Amino acid sequence: MFKWFVKHRLEGYVKKYFKRHPNTKLVAVVGSVGKTTTKRAVATMLASSFKLQGDVSDFNEQIAVPCSILGVNYPPTSELRKLSTWRTVFKACKHQAKDMDVAVIVQELGTDHPGEIPHFAKYLKPDITIITAVTPEHMEFFKTLQAVAQEEFALAAVSKKVMVNIDDTPIECLQYVDPAKVLLYGFDEHADYTIKAKVDDPLKGYSGQFISKKNGAIDVKDIKLVGEHNLRAGIAAAGVATELGLDAAKIQHGLTQVQSAPGRMNILRGNKNSVILDDTYNSSPAAAIAALRTLYETVSDERIAVFGGMNELGEYAEQGHKDVAEFFDGTYLSYLVTMGNMANKYFAPIARAKGITVFETKTPIEAGIAANKVLDPEKNPVVLFKGSQGGIYMEEAVKIIVFETEHDKLVRQSPEWRAKKEYLYEQEFADAETDDE
């Protein structure tokens, strides 16, 4: 009851804001993967041209979204049950609903259960909704890909325009949106917005042309997003900019500024002359396969993948892990380090059957140590770290290899997150004592 009261009141402030500020544009970002990178790319693209509200936090769930939209910091977990905390939040939201002066709001919206995106549609009417992908997610609750599609497209009916990543969204999903609203983006030949770029090494960025059916082609260079799946975020950002009237020069400049969020294919410096692809924020079959493809494109004589399992796949868990395992390729991979029950059970045997040297580990710390042991500084090693969030926390494996000066670029390093992960170190110490005996 208390949670309902808080949510209802916060949503009321958002409704009041948009009623008082009808000219403020709302760009909503939904989808199975890539939401945060896309949101940040759009916000970065627009920041030099509009007064913007677009990056207070990465929170995207029901109660946190109204705070993010209104530019009010969401309380820490330890404060969420205190009425005094919410009185302070309500006061701040009431002030913002009246006086916040922005031209564009860019907001990410997430879902874990059916009905959460439809709920957002009850009080948000986006000018542009970006659908980043429709792929298997939270399948223990959604069960089918059709259910995922219906969830992610739930804002379409109340949005003025809907931008859809056509590369990662089955074409049949377009039945859930009015064709007159649809703008397609990606690398598909039917896309309204695309980037044609040649890349010799994804670690060095992209240059080429941004092409829109509306305005034609413009030259772009020095796009720092890593991997084609992240480059789509740049396409979406440039597409939104075009729809909001930005000229070619501003789009060119904006694309040089966009970059991934922490833990989403960030390039970090590691020991033994290594380069780290830090993709540790979360994982799903589509994201894991995309990350592997990017690793294979890098210029290196030693490529190492360090993979944890993928959570929240429900009945699709076994098949989802096997689908990813099929992309392990000994032509490109020198070593695979697997971490945790799911990765060891499904990734390791398939990779070994392909002739890849595999190290099975129990904790992220052990996984990082295993990867560190095989680094050959003479081979310019590139190491990809990938795994789901809950209980896996592959960023702790990254710490074993990455320079300490790069630790502030890792995900989940707040005091609250560190406290949640203490058990990892306790388990490592316990295993070490057992080995000593």
Tell me the pLDDT of the chain (437 aa) as tens digits.
788 899 999 999 999 999 999 999 999 999 998 999 999 999 999 999 999 986 545 677 899 999 999 999 988 877 888 889 999 999 999 999 999 999 999 999 999 889 999 999 999 999 999 999 998 877 778 889 999 999 999 999 999 999 999 999 999 999 999 999 999 999 999 999 999 998 778 998 899 999 999 899 999 999 999 998 899 999 999 999 999 999 999 999 999 999 888 999 999 999 999 999 999 999 999 999 999 999 999 999 999 999 999 998 988 999 999 999 999 999 999 999 999 999 999 999 999 999 999 999 999 999 999 999 999 999 999 999 999 988 899 999 999 999 998 999 999 998 888 888 886 666 654 554 444 44
Query: 3-class SS at 437?
Result: coil
Helix 228-243 vs helix 248-257: crossing angle, to nearest 10:
150
Angstrom distance (rounded) from CA 152 to CA 30: 6
Question: Would you state the pLDDT for residue 434?
Answer: 45
| Tokens 């404060």 belong to residue | 79
Widest Cα–Cα separation across the chain: 70
Question: Would you state the pLDDT for residue 417?
Answer: 87
Residue 300 amino acid letter = S
Angstrom distance (rounded) from CA 57 to CA 200: 34
Question: Would you state the pLDDT for residue 194?
Answer: 98
Question: Would you state the pLDDT for residue 420?
Answer: 82
Residue 234 · residue 208 · CB < 8 Å: no
Phi, psi dihedral angles at 329 (to 5 degrees): -130, 115
Q: Tokens for 14, please give them.
A: 């958002």
Residue 296 · residue 303 · CB < 8 Å: yes
Task: Decide: residue 16, CB within 10 A, 0-12 exposed, 13-18 middle, 19+ buried.
Answer: middle
Question: Would you state the pLDDT for residue 258?
Answer: 94
Residue 208 · residue 217 · CB < 8 Å: no
Q: Tokens for 1, please give them.
A: 């009851």
Angstrom distance (rounded) from CA 274 to CA 302: 9
Angstrom distance (rounded) from CA 166 to CA 352: 34
The angle at the Cα of 38, spanning 257 to 385, to the nearest 5 degrees, equals 90
Question: Would you state the pLDDT for residue 82?
Answer: 86
Phi, psi dihedral angles at 229 (to 5 degrees): -65, -30
Within 225-308, residue ranges assigned H as helices are: 228-243, 248-257, 285-297
Q: Tokens for 101, please give them.
A: 């002066």
Angstrom distance (rounded) from CA 382 to CA 275: 5
> How do strand 25-30 and strand 206-212 relate by DSSP bridges?
unpaired
Question: Would you state the pLDDT for residue 65?
Answer: 95
Rg of the chain (C-alpha set): 22
